[in-house]
Structure 1
Amino acid sequence: MGRSISRFIRAITLLGMMLSLPTWGSTVGLLVDASSDQILAFKQQLAIQLPSDTVQVVTVSDLNSLDQAKIDKWLTLGPNALNQLLMRFNTLSSPVLAMFLPEAARVKLSTQYSQKFTTLDNSPDMVKQLSLIRALVPQARQVGVFHSSQLNINKPEFNKAAKRFGLSLHWAELKDPLDWDRHALKVLADVDLVLGVNDDALYNTTTIRSILMRLYRSSKALIGPDKGYVRAGAVASTYSGIEETLLAAASWSRGELSADSILENPYFNVNVNTQVARSLNIVVDDPNALIQQIKESTHER
């Protein structure tokens, strides 16, 4: 009996010693072309989000003398940093999250190298944009979607998503933003507002002024396709910027997000051009309330 109690006490003491030992986190390598004040600020905020980990800024020039085994997870900023990492290490045992990677670069690098990596996609999610429309203009039912011939998109999927929000999408190829054909004009006349899509062949700095002028004359709001177009004159858009990228990078590092080839950023914000909204009789009382509405409605669906 005495020996049993003694063994029990020793076991409890050993367990207490084990629990009191410090827990060592991962080393997260933040790979950049060159360090800067902005990079150091990003690293500092990331370190706050990952208190158990060590965040280390690594420049591409450091790769030649770096022991890759010392980095448990890689975060890369921009296409060159990712390219240099994949070129320097033929096989990486550490997972990689590529941030601010254009789609063309993603396709090229995933084809060029066998090494797997996850790309953080910051482009606005159409479901969130549809939810934004419902929150901004609850009376809207008909939504126009103009696109170029180059747009590759699953129309039935988005038609189905729109239906869940009580919206109907009207698609029209816009061959010339300066000279709208009869079908495009009819769609514009029939809809309550227009949803911009991620289509660089149509929505770009050369064409956006002409598109917005046509919509203004028809008293139709443009939602999206991204934050930059809100500054140009669109009414509003969801977006994921630096702060949202930081949050996603921290969540991925903690293992809370998927490691698929493409990771849609779950964190987002809303940008509203209140002056344009007011001119189109769209009332925006509280942008933060819009964000909450979108979160609730997309979660429900």
Structure 2
Amino acid sequence: MQAAKSLTATALLCTLIAATIFSATPTALAQDPSPVYLASSGNLALDSHIQGLLEQTLGGQHQLVPVTDEQAAQTDDGPIVTLGPGAFSRIRQVNRQAPVLALLVEPDFLGGFARRSSGQISGIYHGAPLLRQALIGKAILPQATRIALIATAGTAELYDTLIDELPAYNLEAQLFVVDDDKQLISTLNRALSYGDFLLAAPDRTIYNPRTMKHVLLTAYRRNRIVIGPSQAYVKAGSLASGYASFPAMVEMAGGHLQTFFETGRFPDPGYPPQFRVDINEQVARSLNIPLATQEQIIQNVELRLDSHGGQGDE
């Protein structure tokens, strides 16, 4: 009799335990999604837009958590996505151990950090590779065969890969080095005498708000177009520039984050495979240059890249 009572009590206890376990699922027992931290650029509209895209890309697998600089200094359980060079610099100052994925940056800014901390620092570039930029110029000026490049001694390496790639596309380039600011316009005039168009890299020592007006006016007077370095300069007077859209950047960022969670390391920084083209039609009209549509220019570039088996993601 006593044994029967004992068995009954045990059965009741097991039932209670099972009921507790099942009632706790999924809230009490479910693990929270792994966090991904977000350091903002300070531009509320931009930050909100990219945050929304990131949340859609991450889905329920990871929780996107906006953080202040003070909070970022204490994080040690997830990667930090930074928006813009300012946010990246701030996070590096407060937390040098955190894995960081930088968005809205260019290779000349991020490249050194990524090389020194491979796998722990990476990024998605928001412009377009120089080869794509060069082929955008070729699509706009089909007769072009020579490209002018200008740089300082410290930034000339930005063009090394491009110069080697161009002959496969029946293009060649010559680099003109600016020794100091006073020689910028004279060097630019020599470059424009050589090239069918000027290709501008994201080189802040040459192309910045202080110098760009002079560069664009000089090119315009010489009846030459400028391609690149970014959308901002298209508005200022460059004829065209390739760029990556926000959805394309965020999609690629999602892939980098997934790889990090699976392996503990980010892939190398790079450009999204999809790109768009911004065009200054007023400049084209002023220089009497007929323009194809943006879609036609993109197709022209993609066909040239595909025919050589490359995407121009240097």
Determine if the TM-score, normalized by the shorter chain, exceeds 0.5.
Answer: yes
Q: Residues 127 and 298 of structure 1 are in contact (CA less than 8 Å); yes or no, is this contact kept in structure 2?
A: no
Q: 1:239 to 1:35 in 2, by over 3 A?
A: closer
Residue 295 of structure 1 aligns with an amino acid whose one-letter code is: E
Equivalent of 1:125, from 126, 129, 141?
Answer: 129
Question: After superposition, what is the alpha-carbon deviation per residue over 1:281-301, rounded to whole angstroms, capped at 9, x for unaligned?
Answer: 322231122223323322333
Q: 1:43 to 1:220 in 2, by over 3 A?
A: same
Shift of 1:157: 3.1
Q: Residues 30 and 55 of structure 1 are in contact (CA less than 8 Å); yes or no, is this contact kept in structure 2?
A: no
The number of residues matched between the two structures is 274
Aligned counterpart, 2:37: 29
The answer to whether 1:221 aligns with 2:225 is: yes
Aligned counterpart, 2:14: none
Distance 1:203 1:50 in 2: 36
Q: Residues 145 and 171 of structure 2 are in contact (CA less than 8 Å); yes or no, is this contact kept in structure 1?
A: yes
Unpaired stretches in structure 1, ≥5 consecutive residues: 1-20
Distance 2:131 2:138 in 1: 11
Matches within 5 A, 1:124-163: 124-153=128-157, 157-163=161-167
Q: Residues 50 and 250 of structure 1 are in contact (CA less than 8 Å); yes or no, is this contact kept in structure 2?
A: yes
The answer to whether 1:76 aligns with 2:82 is: yes
For the residue of structure 2 that corresponds to 1:138, the secondary structure is: coil
The answer to whether 1:49 aligns with 2:57 is: yes
Shift of 1:265: 3.6
Q: How does the TM-score come out when normalised to structure 2? A: 0.70
Shift of 1:109: 6.1
Q: Residues 90 and 115 of structure 1 are in contact (CA less than 8 Å); yes or no, is this contact kept in structure 2?
A: no
Q: Residues 259 and 267 of structure 2 are in contact (CA less than 8 Å); yes or no, is this contact kept in structure 1?
A: no
Q: How does the TM-score come out when normalised to structure 1? A: 0.73
Aligned counterpart, 1:40: 48
The answer to whether 1:173 aligns with 2:181 is: no
Q: 1:198 to 1:255 in 2, by over 3 A?
A: same
Q: 1:206 to 1:289 in 2, by over 3 A?
A: same
Shift of 1:276: 0.8
Aligned counterpart, 1:299: 306
For the residue of structure 1 that corresponds to 2:270, the secondary structure is: strand
Question: After superposition, what is the alpha-carbon deviation per residue over 1:177-209, rounded to whole angstroms, capped at 9, x for unaligned?
Answer: 66515xx54542243222122322222222222
Larger Rg: 2
Root-mean-square deviation (Å)? 3.8
Q: Residues 76 and 82 of structure 1 are in contact (CA less than 8 Å); yes or no, is this contact kept in structure 2?
A: yes
Q: 1:298 to 1:26 in 2, by over 3 A?
A: farther
Identity of aligned residues (%): 21
